């Protein structure tokens, strides 16, 4: 009788251990499923956070644009005329820096046979040489012996509605920043490509300054504003300048 009881007890214990093992295995499966679900949710949250970061980075930030480009933009003095010039592209062959400005900024010096102009930032002054001009498109190529960071040029043409920053020295006031949008692309009067019309405020002295997109790339060179009107500025597309001088 004792043997039968012991056998029954042993059988019950084995059954209970087997049930306990099944329950533990089921618990392990549930934990694994929960962990998988948590990992999936974390992965989804990471992707959403990354997407939000990209959206935030793509948002138009004039302050960030200005901070990045201002060190490469100068007031240029050409005889009695004052305008704006900006460093562009890689370092010049043989050292130094290539810059763009408008031809009409340096026209008096060029036509008078001179080639020297001066770049100014705060209390600093740097000599520069007029290398070549494109009178038709109102662009001039300058070269300075000083080394400055060249701005990156946009690979694509400006589009209507695109937000932009214009940097220059209106009335000689260097490091002036205005913002606006590309209003339209207009047929150029005698130039090689369409003129960029924009609504960012500009004044005499802005001529030759860069028009920058939200990616900190140059899309144009500010060249003129409509007389007796506000919010109508014009720029030479940067591609016209780059194609003509091969320094971008």
pLDDT digits (tens, 9 = 90+) for 115-161: 999 999 989 999 999 999 999 999 999 999 999 999 999 999 999 99
- Choose, from 72, 104, 141, 183, the residue flagged as catalytic: 104
Strands 217-225 and 152-153: parallel
Question: What average pLDDT does the chain have?
Answer: 88
Contact by Cβ (8 Å): 209, 169:
yes
β partners of residue 181:
163
What tokens appear for 110 in the block? 């060029």
Q: Is 134 a catalytic residue?
A: no
pTM of the model: 0.77
- Choose, from 72, 176, 183, 207, the residue flagged as catalytic: 207
Tell me the DSSP string of the chain: -HHHHHHHHHHHHHHHHHHHHHHHHHHHHHHHHHHHHHHHHHHHHHHHHHHHHHHHHHS--HHHHHHHHGGGEEEEEETTEEEEEEEBSSPPTTSSEEEEE-HHHHHHHHHTT--EEEEEETTEEEEEEEEEEETTTTEEEEEESS--PPBEEPSS---TT-EEEEEE-GGG-TTEEEEEEEEEEE--SSSSSPEEEE-S---TT-TTPEEEETTSEEEEEEEEE-TT-SS-EEEEEHHHHHHHH---
Q: Is 43 a catalytic residue?
A: no
Q: Which residue has the higher pLDDT, 237 or 31?
A: 237
Q: Is 207 a catalytic residue?
A: yes
pLDDT at 109: 98
Examine the pLDDT at 72 and tell me if it is beyond 90: yes
- Choose, from 72, 134, 138, 141, the residue flagged as catalytic: 138
| Contacts (Cβ under 8 Å, ≥6 apart) of 48 | none
Sign, Cα dihedral of 58, 60, 61, 67: positive
Q: Which residue has the higher pLDDT, 240 or 29?
A: 240
**Residue length, the chain?**
248
Examine the pLDDT at 7 and tell me if it is beyond 60: no
Domain layout of the chain by residue ranges: 62-245
β partners of residue 134:
139
Q: Which CATH code of 3.40.718.10, 2.170.270.10, 2.40.10.120, 1.20.120.450 fits the domain covering 62-245?
A: 2.40.10.120
């Amino acid at each position: 009788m004792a043997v039968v009881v012991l056998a029954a007890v042993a059988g019950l214990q084995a059954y209970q251990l087997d049930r306990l093992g099944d329950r533990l295995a089921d618990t392990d499966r549930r934990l694994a499923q929960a962990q998988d679900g948590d990992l999936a949710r974390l992965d989804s949250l990471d992707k959403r956070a990354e997407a939000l970061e990209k959206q935030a980075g793509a948002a138009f930030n004039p302050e960030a644009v200005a901070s990045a480009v201002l060190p490469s933009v100068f007031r240029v003095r050409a005889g009695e005329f004052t305008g704006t010039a900006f460093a562009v592209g890689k370092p010049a062959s043989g050292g130094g820096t290539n810059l763009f400005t408008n031809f009409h900024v340096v026209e008096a010096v060029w036509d008078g046979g001179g080639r020297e102009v001066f770049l100014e930032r705060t209390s600093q002054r740097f000599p520069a040489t007029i290398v070549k001009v494109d009178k038709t498109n109102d662009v001039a190529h300058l070269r300075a012996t000083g080394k400055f960071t060249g701005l990156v040029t946009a690979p694509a043409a400006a589009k209507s509605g695109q937000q932009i920053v214009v940097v220059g020295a209106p009335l000689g006031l260097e490091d002036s920043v205005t913002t606006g949008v590309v209003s339209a692309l207009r047929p150029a009067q005698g130039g090689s490509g369409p003129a960029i019309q924009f609504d960012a405020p500009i004044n005499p002295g802005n001529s030759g300054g860069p028009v920058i997109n939200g990616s900190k790339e140059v899309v144009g060179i500010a060249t003129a504003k409509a007389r007796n009107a506000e919010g109508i500025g014009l720029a030479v597309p940067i591609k016209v300048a780059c194609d003509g001088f091969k320094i971008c």
